Amino acid sequence: MKRSFTVVIMLAASLALSVSLAVAETIKVGAILAVTGPASFLGGPEARTLEMLAEELNAKGGINGNKIELVIKDSGGNPEKAISFAKQLIEEEKVFAIIGPSTSGETLKIKQICEAGKTILLSCAAAEQIVEPVAKYVFKTPQKDSHVVHAIFENMKSAKISKVAVLASNTGFGQAGKGQIEKQAPEYGIRVLATEVYDSKATDLSAIVAKLAANKEIQAVINWSVEPAQAIVLKNIRQAGWNVPIYQSHGFGNIKYVQAAGAAAEGVIFPAGRLLIADKLADKHPQKAVLTSYTKNYEAKFKEEVSTFGGHGYDAFKILCRGIEVAGTNREKVRDAIENLKGFVGTAGVFNFSPTDHNGLGTDSVTMLTVKGGNFVEYKK
């Protein structure tokens, strides 16, 4: 009697198991992020955001019953590692899509690999070349460099600044930004009087600051980097008693750098998405709800301030989920769905993808911020 009872239980259990298998499948999503290494302030928040979102989603029962399984690989910001992880994820793990990499250099290295492997790539990196020329399977969530530079130059025009010095770090991000600045400057009637590139691990830049400060024609400094050097350069400029307006890239969107630069960060102007000023947005702003809920959940879970970089991971994950929600679990159909996604509200802005635009963000996704009393606030003249 007892034995047959066990058999029945086992049968029932296996039946239940096979039923659930038939209805729902687990979707494997790969992520290549710089969780450690020099770009860890990008990859760290991105990885934490993805883990949080996947946990939330699976607790709610997944997308139409399909659970998401995350496979996060730590590239350390190293393009060579990114390449081997991309191959591994596509060929061995056979993932549905890949989120990341965190940096532009890595993304550009694996763009063709994902294209050849017909695997959707949702990059969290900024460089323009990721989506230009458009690759069928490659998308990206952060604002384009060109939009960011556009926002800076518009701001300079209204402040009547026409002669600038450019400082950039010797990374993919720094070089891409420097290239955009040099390309767009003539259109706005802005002259770049000096361009200097420093090592991403620089610990003091007072010598180069002295050289630039001696040129009295320079009206403003633009610094393009994502490393601690962007805080060091602020201190060095202010310590030299040089009171020029300082513009930073969107890489400054992490409150830790403001804290690191302390009093020297006051008044720095930089372009960013609206995530950093979520609590100060008007209630009717289309992004308000998304931004405040992400900020609240992230800060409650990880006890650290939210940064725009985690937001790029958030957008990538949510866009993929929307694609699966609309088109099911067929990869080609999901790709088509993402390509035709319109009016999707994310942390970076409102995404309107099209076959010719795999970024989907407009110039209005960038706003100018400044630092006041150690906090990010919207820049107002």
List residues near other proteins by CB under 8 A.
36-38, 40-41, 44, 170, 196-199, 201, 203-208, 210-211, 213-214, 228, 231-232, 234-235, 238-241, 256-257, 260-265
CB of 37 to other proteins, least distance (A): 8
- Report the C-alpha gap between 365 and 349 in whole angstroms: 5
- Report the C-alpha gap between 312 and 47 in whole angstroms: 11
- Report the C-alpha gap between 376 and 279 in whole angstroms: 11
Task: Compare residues 144 and 238 and give the one whose CB is closer to other proteins.
Answer: 238
CB of 40 to other proteins, least distance (A): 4
Task: Compare residues 70 and 237 and give the one whose CB is closer to other proteins.
Answer: 237
- Report the C-alpha gap between 107 and 124 in whole angstroms: 9
Task: Compare residues 77 and 346 and give the one whose CB is closer to other proteins.
Answer: 77
How distant is the alpha carbon of residue 40 from its chain centre? 12
Task: Compare residues 44 and 273 and give the one whose CB is closer to other proteins.
Answer: 44
Task: Compare residues 138 and 261 and give the one whose CB is closer to other proteins.
Answer: 261
DSSP label at residue 91:
I
What the block records as the tokens of 3 is: 């034995």
| Alpha helix segments (H runs only) across 132-202 | 145-158, 172-184
CB of 299 to other proteins, least distance (A): 15
CB of 48 to other proteins, least distance (A): 11
How distant is the alpha carbon of residue 339 from its chain centre? 19
Pairing of β 97-99 and β 27-33: parallel
Neighbours of 293 (CB within 10 A): 11
Task: Compare residues 119 and 254 and give the one whose CB is closer to other proteins.
Answer: 254
CB of 38 to other proteins, least distance (A): 7
- In 3-state terms, what secondary structure has residue 163? strand
CB of 262 to other proteins, least distance (A): 4
- In 3-state terms, what secondary structure has residue 121? strand
CB of 39 to other proteins, least distance (A): 9
What the block records as the tokens of 337 is: 């769905």
CB of 202 to other proteins, least distance (A): 8
Residues 6+ apart with CB under 8 A from 277: 367, 369, 376, 377, 378
Q: What is the dihedral of CA 30, 356, 309, 121, to 10 degrees?
A: 10
Q: At 79, give phi and psi (nearest 5°).
A: -60, -35
CB of 170 to other proteins, least distance (A): 6
Task: Compare residues 104 and 236 and give the one whose CB is closer to other proteins.
Answer: 236
- Report the C-alpha gap between 258 and 355 in whole angstroms: 39
- Report the C-alpha gap between 209 and 242 in whole angstroms: 9
CA angle 341/347/351 to nearest 5° reads 20
Task: Compare residues 256 and 296 and give the one whose CB is closer to other proteins.
Answer: 256
Nearest-Å Rg of the Cα atoms of the chain is 23
Task: Compare residues 30 and 38 and give the one whose CB is closer to other proteins.
Answer: 38
